[in-house]
Amino acid sequence: MGVDFHQLEDGREFWLGGVLVPHYRGATGHSDADVLLHAICDAMLGAANLGDIGVHFPDTDAAYKGIDSKILLKKTAALIAERRYRVVNIDSCLCLQAPRIKPFIPQMQQAIASCLGISTEEISIKATTTERMGFVGREEGVVAYATVLLEK
Ligand SMILES: [Zn+2]
């Protein structure tokens, strides 16, 4: 399982699941701050007992500044492949108040599928608001959870 959090700021690009989502705010971070791809990377690394995303792609390393998280996802796939693992399927959930994510889910599935070399049918992406409660409800931040099944 993996979880990730990012703050939201006005005028930033909002990358989610490898897709640029039009919105007046976007996530901040050292990379492109794609909270969903980061949660999926963390879940893959965790299932292979390879630590977490911060161990492999530290935010103190200039090499990862502004990096497209699809590159991190591909690198993560290579790391688990070294241990002879592959992804069977993914379930995930995005928590954000706005915008509506449903129309972008097919594109996100496509982006993730092409990074991992699996079918879009094996990639579940769900989304929920927090009914305006808490930091997600106030649009101060975004959260993603992911669960990944690996096979050796
Ligand atoms: Zn992140």
- Say how many Å lie between the CA of residue 4 and the centre of ligand 1: 5
Find the helix or strand (DSSP H, E) in which 78 lies: helix 69-82
Q: What number is the average pLDDT over the span 127-148? A: 97
- Say how many Å lie between the CA of residue 35 and the centre of ligand 1: 5
- Say how many Å lie between the CA of residue 108 and the centre of ligand 1: 16
Q: What number is the average pLDDT over the span 20-34? A: 95
- Say how many Å lie between the CA of residue 121 and the centre of ligand 1: 25
- Say how many Å lie between the CA of residue 2 and the centre of ligand 1: 11
Contact 20, 13 (CB under 8 A): yes
- Which of 15-29, 53-67, 89-103 has the weakest average pLDDT? 53-67
pLDDT digits (tens, 9 = 90+) for 111-125: 999 999 999 999 999
- Strands ordered across the beta sheet of 141-151: 25-27, 2-10, 141-151, 86-95, 123-128
Mean of the per-residue pLDDT values for the chain? 96
| Six token digits for residue 129 | 């608001």
Instruction: Give the global pTM.
Output: 0.97
